[in-house]
Amino acid sequence: MEERGSISRRDFAKASALAGFAVISARAGVAATNTDTLKIGLIGCGGRGTGAAVNCLTGVENIKLVAMADTFPDKIEACLKNLEKAGDKIWGKVDVKPDMQFVGLDAYQKLLKTDVDVVIHATPPYARPLHVEAVINAGKHLFTEKPVAVDPVGIRRVLAAAKKAQDNKQCIVTGLQRRHQLPYIETIKQLQDGKIGQIVAGRAYWNGGLPFSHLRKDGWNDLEYRLRNWYNQCWTCGDNIVEQHVHNLDVLNWVLGGHPEKVTASGGRAWKPVEERFGDIWDNFSCDYTYANDVHVLSMSRHWNDTANDVSEHVVGTTGVSNCQDLAKGGIDPYVQEHIDLFAAIRGEAPYANELFRTAESTMTAIMGRMAAYTGEELTWDKALNSDLSIVPEVLDFDKSYPVGPIPVPGKKYKG
């Protein structure tokens, strides 16, 4: 029997189907006409935030970047320099006055009090549920990066925000750019129409190197170090299976039309020494996901330097195989296309868009794989989604200490 208030697989599928790409004629009020200049605020001004701003300003007309928020002032400074270097077409659409540059852990709140219409959100994942909820409560449209949470409590918070956005017709596009990449879109349409028969198995890999790990610099307290070295603690990034492999798991969910029913997984740290800079995350995961009709998907995600890289998705059908993008060619840079699609939806030139439900579903798929691997237990979707696991500290304070670890050991008591 389901617990009261828990979210079942059926409920999830229903909510996702309703909101995935529902056509809703009325628009949230920001774009009175298609030619109004829409104001953009950027929260999280690092590598991807800068890249997403450039992509958006490249693809969309009648917009202006007017506000920026980041924990650290040097990030805003570097972002502005890089936007200027990106050329006149980009720089001409940037006008971020000093009093519209917000710094600190509450910078996002200050930005949300301004009259920006659309937020680009590109902080590390730990902040996403809190910030996404605040963006929706502030009535803004949203482009947000993936993954959208690091634990099930965060996922449920994001789902509640997604529902509110749907009710208010606020548009949301998320940074799973394969969903805006023509070869994937056209191929997956054909796969779902039976091009290779019935899909009986799949595999998804993110086998790459360690993105970065920084030594602590003089003057960095614990929190500053954890945030600057965010890809090395589970609470800041979700571990590599969540942070990057979500892209590939999303493709499998897309092809198979939903999330897995259960998962068995393993993994560990094959090469990383126990050093603060390498945090508490693992460097390899292998998962066996079971979808409806006993379809199994093998997933691997690694941070192994100097080994064979493979970032890909494949499915096996009763009459053929596919890498999920081999049946079509063309399209433009999906990192640009995703912003074009968001603004078309905001301006009423395309159906209402809210990708937060399905991206929460794919993020949760990755989180359940991590939970199963860390504990060594087989895990069902419903149990994982309704878990009370919450790993982000409730209070973030530069005067407090945030020790690293423990590094999860399967079979030992881990709170996952």
Ligand X SMILES: NC(=O)c1ccc[n+]([C@@H]2O[C@H](COP(=O)([O-])OP(=O)(O)OC[C@H]3O[C@@H](n4cnc5c(N)ncnc54)[C@H](O)[C@@H]3O)[C@@H](O)[C@H]2O)c1
Annotate each residue in 210-229 with x if it binds ligand X (CB under 6 A) or - if it does not, as one string.
Answer: -----------------x--
The residue at minimum Cβ distance from ligand X is: 46
Q: Is 408 in the site for ligand X (CB under 6 A)?
A: no
Figure out which of the listed residues 54, 65, 75, 381 binds ligand X, where binding follows CB under 6 A. 75
State in angstroms the smallest separation of the CB of 338 from ligand X: 9
Take residue 370 and report the two structure tokens written for it.
Answer: 């991590």
Scanning 88-96, 101-109, 265-273, 309-317 for contacts with ligand X by CB under 6 A, the matching segment is: 101-109
Scanning 68-76, 191-199, 311-319, 381-389 for contacts with ligand X by CB under 6 A, the matching segment is: 68-76
Picking from 359, 313, 298, 347, the residue whose alpha carbon sits closest to that of residue 145 is 359
Q: Is 341 in the site for ligand X (CB under 6 A)?
A: no
Phi, psi for residue 54 in degrees, rounded to 5: -60, -45
Q: Is 208 in the site for ligand X (CB under 6 A)?
A: no
Q: Is 174 in the site for ligand X (CB under 6 A)?
A: no
Residue type present at position 307: T
Please name the helix (run of DSSP H) or strand (run of DSSP E) that holds residue 303, with its range, or none: strand 296-303
For 60, counting Cβ atoms within 10 Å of its Cβ (0-12 exposed, 13-18 middle, 19+ buried), the class is: buried
Angle, helices 246-256/182-192, rounded to nearest 10 degrees = 40
- How far apart CA 346 and CA 377 sit, in angstroms, is 43
How many binding residues for ligand X (CB under 6 A)?
A: 26
CB nearer ligand X, residue 44 or residue 267 = 44
Picking from 198, 293, 208, the residue whose alpha carbon sits closest to that of residue 247 is 208
Take residue 283 and report the two structure tokens written for it.
Answer: 């460097």
State in angstroms the smallest separation of the CB of 77 from ligand X: 11
Picking from 188, 153, 164, the residue whose alpha carbon sits closest to that of residue 357 is 164
Figure out which of the listed residues 55, 123, 299, 325 binds ligand X, where binding follows CB under 6 A. 123
- How far apart CA 416 and CA 408 sit, in angstroms, is 9
Take residue 278 and report the two structure tokens written for it.
Answer: 């390498």
Q: Is 243 in the site for ligand X (CB under 6 A)?
A: yes
CB nearer ligand X, residue 145 or residue 280 = 145
Figure out which of the listed residues 124, 202, 334, 369 binds ligand X, where binding follows CB under 6 A. 124
Q: Is 299 in the site for ligand X (CB under 6 A)?
A: no
Question: Residues interacting with ligand X, by CB under 6 A?
Answer: 43-49, 69-72, 75, 105, 107-108, 122-125, 127, 145-146, 175, 177, 227, 243
